[in-house]
Amino acid sequence: MKKLSIALICMFFAFATMAGDVNTGKTSGNPIRVELDLNNSSRNSNTASAFRIQKPFTFHDSCGQTITVYVSAPNGTYWADMGVVAGHYMLDHMNSSGCYIP
């Protein structure tokens, strides 16, 4: 029993020291902004191709980088759905500080 309690105490200190400093030094105070270009007539769904449409989504991360994600989808897909896909792509490629990792 004494060995078990010593082992548990050592394990507790090991986990505590590993989880002590997870911050990379950068703050994530700035929110991520998304720009949608809805007024561009060449990207309007009425004049788009009969088969596929492509929409760029521009993201600004908290480190000052600007990333444009191009989403291609079948004609008739809502731009909001395409934006959700682009947002998921960006969230999958960000670290804990909110910075884009290529």
SS3 47: coil
- Tell me the pLDDT tens digit for each residue of 52-92: 999 999 999 888 889 999 999 998 899 999 999 999 999 89
Residue 84: what pLDDT? 94
Residue 27: what pLDDT? 59
Other CB atoms within 10 Å distance of the CB of residue 80: 8
Q: pTM above the 0.75 mark?
A: no
Nearest Cα neighbor of 85 from 96, 77, 95, 76 is: 77
Residue 42: what pLDDT? 52
Other CB atoms within 10 Å distance of the CB of residue 27: 10
Instruction: Check residue 51 and give left, alpha or beta (phi > 0: left; psi -120 to 50: alpha).
Output: alpha
